[in-house]
């Protein structure tokens, strides 16, 4: 069964005080099948209370998005690399606590991004070992690059680690104009290792940093029908996560926008033969 998840990051952010208890209303008003828990760096001190709260909810969290600062530390390297491993271990522990079987990781991030990719490539082995020790599946996301491009980096990773899995984000791919790249025969190893999908839209030019915001499906330039058809015919068995920011500057969550997105995704996926 393919579940449609909603990222907690689409619901909870700075404008509403990153208040995790807003999930109470979300459970009543959203038509998703569960949530992808997004970990914020500001939540570690409050983590015991957050975990108690999450355990009290009648909701599932099959996937967890690691704190984004992990990848940034890996990219900068040096003394920050041991910190990255320690934080990643903590994120693995959290995934286990909430019942998440998959972890989404930005392996490279920040200004450093993929400029020193040899650091990210080398660190991936240790990160895979740590995740395996907690019995969670590490998936590396095709995060935007400022040196090369996600497809090139994924090919390098799969060349070094054939057992590595990926989370494929449609917005990230469209930013680099790489949606069609996935369909090429030479990328079949990448397609076969996609374990999770982020279904997000993008409206802007090639590597247009000023437009790098996450839009709901159908509100950008991506043609999702051929992509979803390719994934279905390729035997995709994972879940989908909707990440588009759905709260305004005052922190109010727009549930109708999210529910329309869930419905749109279900309609397109179910219409594919």
Is the distance from CB of 98 to CB of 52 less than 8 angstroms?
no
| Alpha-carbon distance values, 165 to 113, 133, 155 (Å) | 20, 16, 12
pLDDT 10s digits, 136-158: 999 999 999 999 999 999 999 99
Q: Please give the Cα distance from 143 to 151 (Å, whole number).
A: 10
1 has a pLDDT exceeding 90: no
Confirm if 64 and 104 have CB atoms less than 8 A apart. yes
pLDDT digits (tens, 9 = 90+) for 160-178: 999 999 999 999 999 999 9
| Mean pLDDT for the stretch of residues 188-193 | 94
Are 6 and 242 a contacting pair, CB within 8 Å?
Answer: yes
For 48-98, how does the pLDDT look when each residue is reduced to its tens digit (9 = 90+)? Answer: 999 999 999 999 999 999 999 999 999 999 999 999 999 999 999 999 999
Residue listed under structure tokens 């969550």: 253
Structure tokens at 149: 């491009």
What CATH number is given to the structural domain containing 25?
3.20.20.150
The answer to whether residue 256 scores a pLDDT higher than 80 is yes
Q: Please state, in angstroms and rounded to a whole number, the distance separating the CA atoms of residues 80 and 84.
A: 6
Task: Please answer whether residues 158 and 194 qualify as being in contact, where contact means their C-beta atoms are separated by less than 8 angstroms.
Answer: no
List the domain range (segments joined by +) for residue 211. 4-271
DSSP 105: E
Model pLDDT for residues 87-129, shown as the tens digit of each residue:
999 999 999 999 999 999 999 999 999 999 999 999 999 999 9
| Number of domains into which the chain is organized | 1
| Cα 139 → chain centroid | 9
pTM of the model: 0.96
């Amino acid at each position: 069964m393919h579940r449609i998840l909603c990222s907690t990051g689409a619901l909870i952010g700075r404008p509403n005080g990153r208040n995790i208890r807003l999930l109470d209303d979300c459970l009543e008003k959203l038509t998703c099948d569960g949530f992808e828990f997004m970990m914020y760096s500001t939540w570690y001190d409050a983590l015991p209370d957050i975990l108690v709260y999450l355990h009290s909810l009648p909701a599932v969290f099959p996937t967890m998005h690691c704190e984004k600062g992990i990848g940034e530390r890996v990219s900068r390297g040096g003394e920050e690399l041991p910190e990255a491993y320690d934080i990643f271990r903590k994120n693995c522990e959290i995934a286990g606590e909430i019942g998440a079987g998959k972890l989404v990781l930005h392996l490279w991030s920040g200004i450093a991004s993929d400029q020193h990719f040899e650091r990210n490539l080398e660190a991936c082995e240790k990160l895979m070992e740590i995740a395996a020790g907690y019995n969670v599946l590490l998936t590396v996301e095709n995060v935007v690059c400022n040196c090369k491009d996600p497809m090139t980096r994924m090919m390098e990773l799969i060349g070094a680690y054939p057992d590595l899995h990926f989370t494929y984000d449609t917005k990230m791919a469209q930013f680099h104009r790489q949606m069609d790249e996935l369909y090429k025969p030479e990328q079949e190893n990448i397609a076969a290792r996609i374990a999770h999908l982020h279904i997000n839209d993008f409206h802007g030019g090639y590597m247009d940093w000023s437009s790098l915001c996450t839009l709901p499906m159908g509100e950008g330039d991506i043609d999702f029908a051929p992509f979803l058809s390719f994934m279905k015919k390729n035997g995709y068995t994972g879940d989908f996560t909707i990440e588009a920011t759905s709260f305004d500057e005052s922190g109010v969550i727009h549930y109708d926008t999210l529910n329309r997105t869930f419905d749109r995704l279900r309609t397109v996926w179910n219409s594919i033969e």
